[in-house]
Amino acid sequence: MDPAQDLLNPIHCVSHNLQKTARVVAGVYAGELRNCGLSRGQFPILQQLEASAGGVAMSALAQRLYMDRTTLTRNLSPLERAGLVVREADPGDARVRRVMITEAGRSRLVEGRKAWRRAQAMTLERIGADSWRRLEDDLRRVRKALS
């Protein structure tokens, strides 16, 4: 069989193979982040908000995180209930909701970064730093090609 044709066999599905890998990797990070009261979906939200002085519009935040707004809202709600973020109307346009990290959110993020570093170190130890750098470059190319 032609090697290119072989890749059209569903066992080589790009989407499914990436999802399986993502689930395994996510489990490592979720386990560490759980210890500080964050989910793996909440950690990058806090990261983005900390980097956005004055907060960020929900739509822009969703775009930066490659999330749809409903997923973002689902991840923001427990953060808001815990007092780690606030959502407010934009002063310039009341139709726009801005999200901001609170001081409690910043404190939790400090703990989250420690947990993230443990997960990152464990992952890199198992797959190798050089392997990760090559894969990271390849994944960046895939995102760019398919965007």
pTM for the whole structure: 0.81
**Residue 145 confidence (pLDDT):** 97
Q: What is the pLDDT of residue 93?
A: 86
Burial 49-80 (b: 16+ CB within 10 A, else e): beebeebbebeebbebbebeeeebeebbeebe
Neighbours of 124 (CB within 10 A): 14
Task: Identify the structural domains of the chain with CATH numbers, from first to last.
Answer: 13-120 (1.10.10.10)
pLDDT at 1: 61
- Pseudo-torsion of CA 90, 80, 74, 101, nearest 10°? 60
pLDDT score at 94: 83
Per-residue pLDDT of the chain (147 residues; tens, 9 = 90+): 677 788 999 999 999 999 999 999 999 999 999 999 999 899 999 999 999 888 999 999 999 999 999 999 999 999 999 999 999 988 888 888 899 999 999 999 999 999 999 999 999 999 999 999 999 999 999 999 999
